[in-house]
């Protein structure tokens, strides 16, 4: 997307000592600083802890960033010059007024022109009070720009998402709101727009006439780890399908935007999500991992993980079949799946192309055609593979399927981490890769009926590709791609 210059600002992180801030937000801000992309950016950490001051927060940040293998000397210089701390205590009106005063003092001391970003890196239950507190203290406006960054999950269902949007819009305009989904910051996801709309070959086949099916897989090797407190009340449908995977569906299914600005792209994404037909209860499979092996090592089942109820019925795997009721995609199934404790970490989009209407090679032995497939790999090894059939050399006459490969790392070396891209977009004011209020509600409208009418949760072994019942969702010759 077109870049605007980054102006000096105060970047406030609520939950600044939490895991997300330590592993993602602070390293991304430091890297942007070292790349000289965020001149004059001050970072103000905000938590409820009154025992922390500027010096202690800086020490904590240095420890966290050096643990991420970032250069200690540069980290220390940045921390001492740009990092500050302000406790929010119990989040009373006086606490938010004190926060406002501290921001104003930093702006005056460091000549920052009233530009402010508020990143809510807190548990979801803290979103409403924090956002309302900012608005009540007048922190939703300033002499410069003000932007609100909200992590997922944005609500638990349609009703709660609508309520949270109402709270947000009481103080902030939609043009100020950045609902963050880190998958949208990945270079390969962004490249979907370029891949489709800058290449006549791909856009010409991107429709029901040439595409037989679409598969989207987000697989994780890890289990629930230390997130049981959150995951037990969320599950894979809320945690992954409603957000990450639906975003990928919208980017694949969207129509050509009128131009490449944020509003035009988000408008087409919302249209795509609204075009997804109601989900048939028979077209969804829920699973929960049991004990098994990953890379030859035994791992426990979900119910044996710390913090998980011994009789938990929370799904760790979801597979479903979606229909996009548009002219472009009518009759093309979208197969979507995600799961924990699968054999490998993988995110990819697979378009299976239709076979020729007549096979000229059936009379020859060993000449069974395979569908051409276009595989867009989001992680790891970002890039794409296009498979096609060729004649194998020699006799007898036979066909072989070969790949045409492109890898981002091979072409460009190291690519930016997702949070670097997204945080720079926040500071520069580009909403293209962020989720609009209408998009959130359209997605929850699709999945809330499923949440209210739960399906049985079937077991699968850790290290497998999920429950075998997921195979029953597939139609015709299509098979799950399990690389």
Please state, in angstroms and rounded to a whole number, the distance separating the CA atoms of residues 136 and 103: 16
Residues labelled as active-site residues: 244
> What pLDDT does residue 224 have?
87
- The mean pLDDT of the chain is 90
Residue 479 pLDDT greater than 80, yes or no: yes
Residue 364 pLDDT greater than 70, yes or no: no
For 145-182, b/e burial (b = at least 16 CB within 10 A) is: bbbbbbbbbbbbbbebbeebbebbeebbeeebbbbbbb
Name the 3-class secondary structure at 320: strand
Please state, in angstroms and rounded to a whole number, the distance separating the CA atoms of residues 235 and 20: 19
DSSP-assigned letter for residue 453: S
Q: Which of 353, 323, 389 lies closest to 213 in space, CA to CA?
A: 353
Residue 369 pLDDT greater than 60, yes or no: no
Q: Report, as an integer, the average pLDDT of 42-62.
A: 95
Q: What is the largest CA-CA distance in the chain?
A: 84
Both structure tokens of 326: 């548009």
CATH topology for 184-473 is: Dihydrodipicolinate Reductase; domain 2 (3.30.360)
- DSSP assignment of 254-296: PPPPSSSSHHHHHHHHHHHHHTBPPPPGGGEEEEEEESEEETT
Q: Which of 458, 464, 456, 457 lies closest to 299 in space, CA to CA?
A: 464
Backbone phi, psi, residue 10, to 5°: -105, 120
Both structure tokens of 163: 């309520």
* Class of 9-151 in CATH: alpha beta
How many residues would you count in the chain? 483
Domain limits of the chain? 9-151, 184-473
> What pLDDT does residue 2 have?
47
The proportion of the chain whose per-residue pLDDT surpasses 90, expressed as a percent, equals 67
């Amino acid at each position: 997307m077109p870049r605007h210059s980054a102006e000096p600002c105060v970047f406030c992180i609520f939950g600044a000592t939490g895991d997300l801030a330590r592993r993602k937000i602070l390293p991304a801000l430091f890297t942007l600083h070292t790349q000289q992309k965020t001149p004059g950016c001050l970072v103000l950490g905000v938590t409820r802890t009154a025992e922390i001051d500027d010096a202690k927060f800086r020490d904590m940040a240095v420890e966290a960033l050096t643990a991420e293998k970032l250069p200690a000397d540069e980290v220390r210089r940045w921390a001492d010059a740009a990092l500050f701390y302000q406790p929010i205590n119990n989040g009373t009106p006086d606490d938010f007024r004190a926060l406002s005063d501290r921001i104003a003092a930093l702006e005056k001391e460091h000549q920052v022109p009233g530009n402010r970003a508020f990143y809510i890196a807190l548990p979801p239950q803290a979103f409403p009070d924090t956002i309302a507190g900012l608005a009540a203290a007048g922190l939703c406006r300033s002499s410069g720009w003000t932007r609100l960054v909200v992590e997922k999950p944005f609500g638990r269902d349609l009703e709660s998402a609508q309520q949270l949007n109402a709270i947000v819009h009481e103080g902030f305009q939609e043009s100020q709101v950045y609902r963050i989904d880190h998958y949208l910051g990945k270079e390969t996801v962004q490249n979907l727009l370029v891949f489709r709309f800058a290449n006549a070959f791909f856009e010409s086949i991107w429709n029901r006439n040439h595409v037989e099916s679409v598969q989207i897989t987000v697989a994780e090797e890890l289990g629930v780890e230390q997130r049981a407190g959150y995951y037990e009340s969320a599950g894979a449908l809320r945690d992954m399908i409603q957000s990450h995977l639906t975003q990928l569906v919208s980017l694949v299914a969207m129509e050509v935007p009128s131009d490449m600005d944020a509003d035009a792209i988000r408008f087409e994404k919302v249209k795509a999500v609204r075009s997804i037909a109601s989900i048939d209860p028979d077209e969804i499979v829920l699973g929960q991992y049991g004990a098994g092996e990953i890379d030859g090592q035994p791992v426990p089942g979900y119910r044996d993980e710390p913090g998980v109820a011994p009789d938990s019925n929370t799904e760790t795997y979801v597979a479903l079949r979606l229909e996009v009721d548009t002219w472009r995609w009518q009759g093309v199934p979208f197969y979507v799946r995600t799961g924990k404790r699968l054999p490998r970490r993988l995110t990819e989009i697979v378009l299976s192309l239709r076979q020729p209407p007549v096979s000229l090679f059936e009379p020859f032995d060993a000449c069974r055609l395979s569908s051409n497939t276009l595989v867009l790999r989001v992680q790891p090894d970002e890039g794409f593979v296009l498979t096609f059939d060729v004649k194998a050399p020699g006799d007898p006459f036979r066909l072989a399927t070969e790949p045409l490969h492109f890898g981002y790392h091979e072409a460009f070396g190291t690519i930016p981490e997702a949070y670097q891209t997204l945080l720079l977009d926040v500071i520069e004011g580009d909403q293209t890769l962020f989720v609009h209020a209408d998009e959130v509600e359209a997605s929850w409208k699709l999945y809330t009926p499923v949440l209210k009418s739960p399906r049985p949760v079937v077991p699968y072994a850790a290290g497998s590709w999920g429950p075998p019942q997921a195979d029953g969702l597939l139609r015709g010759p299509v098979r799950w791609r399990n690389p």
